[in-house]
């Protein structure tokens, strides 16, 4: 009797585990629609044409945005923003190149002051994203300062997740929003 009760409980737990595991399994399905019609010696094949989804791989390296559709310009030929990995404030190689170009332009224009805005994606709390945005803006500011730009000319401002450039909830949208933007203050 006692052994039967233990067996039933064990069987019940195993069944629950199997059901939960089956619910958590993600299947990838590829669909293709082809329709054939035959009419008195004429055979035609129709294929439903679907617009291809823009490839994410060409716009992201890892989880850092590398596209240019949201990029503005601080000056002619000088990009205004750099992008970051998830939960990071470490500058990428591409970010450093952009910031070097910004520093060179700022050295040629000593009367210009800038605001470096830090941004984050929608994930995380408001407070965490404000702090992360500030770390990102400070990383950009520090890099500009290593190239001779005075800290008096650079102001740091964090918007966290409050000003997304892409309101979507996809990895591509999130990568566009993880950024630091340099804006002319005067």
User: Do 84 and 93 meet the contact criterion of CB atoms below 8 Å apart?
Assistant: no
Mean pLDDT, the chain, integer: 82
Token pair in block for residue 49: 């044409």
Q: How many residues does the chain have?
A: 186
What phi and psi, each to the nearest 5 degrees, are found at residue 135? -60, -40
Percent of the chain topping pLDDT 90: 58
Model confidence at 77, pLDDT cuts 50, 70, 90, reads: confident
DSSP category for residue 92: P
Strand ranges (E), the chain: 34-39, 42-47, 60-61, 64-65, 73-75, 78-79, 81-83, 114-119, 154-160, 179-184
How many angstroms separate the CA atoms of 34 and 46, rounded? Answer: 6
CATH of 60-184, one of 3.30.1330.60, 1.10.3720.10, 3.40.50.150, 3.90.550.10: 3.30.1330.60
Which has more confidence, 34 or 80?
A: 80
Residue 53 has pLDDT above 60, yes or no: no
Q: Give which of 77, 102, 101 is closest to 153, Cα–Cα.
A: 102
**42-46, 72-76, 172-176: least confidently modelled range:** 42-46
Neighbours of 171 (CB within 10 A): 14
Please list the residues that pair with 34 across neighbouring strands: 47
Residue 118 exposed, middle or buried by CB count within 10 Å (0-12, 13-18, 19+): buried
**What pLDDT sits at residue 56?**
52
Q: What SS3 class is residue 177?
A: helix
Domain boundaries, the chain: 60-184
């Amino acid at each position: 009797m006692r052994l039967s009760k233990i067996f039933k409980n064990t069987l019940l737990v195993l069944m629950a585990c199997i059901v939960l595991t089956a619910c958590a399994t993600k299947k990838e399905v590829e669909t293709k629609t082809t329709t054939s019609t035959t009419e008195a010696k004429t055979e035609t094949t129709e294929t439903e044409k679907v617009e291809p989804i823009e490839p994410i791989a060409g716009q992201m390296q890892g989880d850092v945005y590398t596209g240019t559709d949201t990029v503005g310009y601080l000056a002619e030929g000088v990009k205004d923003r750099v992008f970051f990995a998830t939960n990071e404030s470490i500058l990428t190689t591409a970010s450093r190149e952009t910031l070097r170009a910004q520093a060179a332009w700022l050295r040629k224009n000593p009367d210009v002051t800038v605001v470096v805005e830090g941004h984050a994606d929608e994930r995380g709390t408001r407070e965490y994203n404000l702090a992360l945005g500030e770390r990102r803006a400070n990383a950009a500011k520090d890099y500009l300062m290593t190239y001779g730009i005075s800290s008096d000319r650079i102001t740091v401002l964090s918007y966290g997740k409050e000003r997304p450039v892409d309101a979507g909830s996809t990895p591509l949208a999130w990568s566009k929003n993880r950024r630091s933007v340099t804006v002319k203050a005067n």
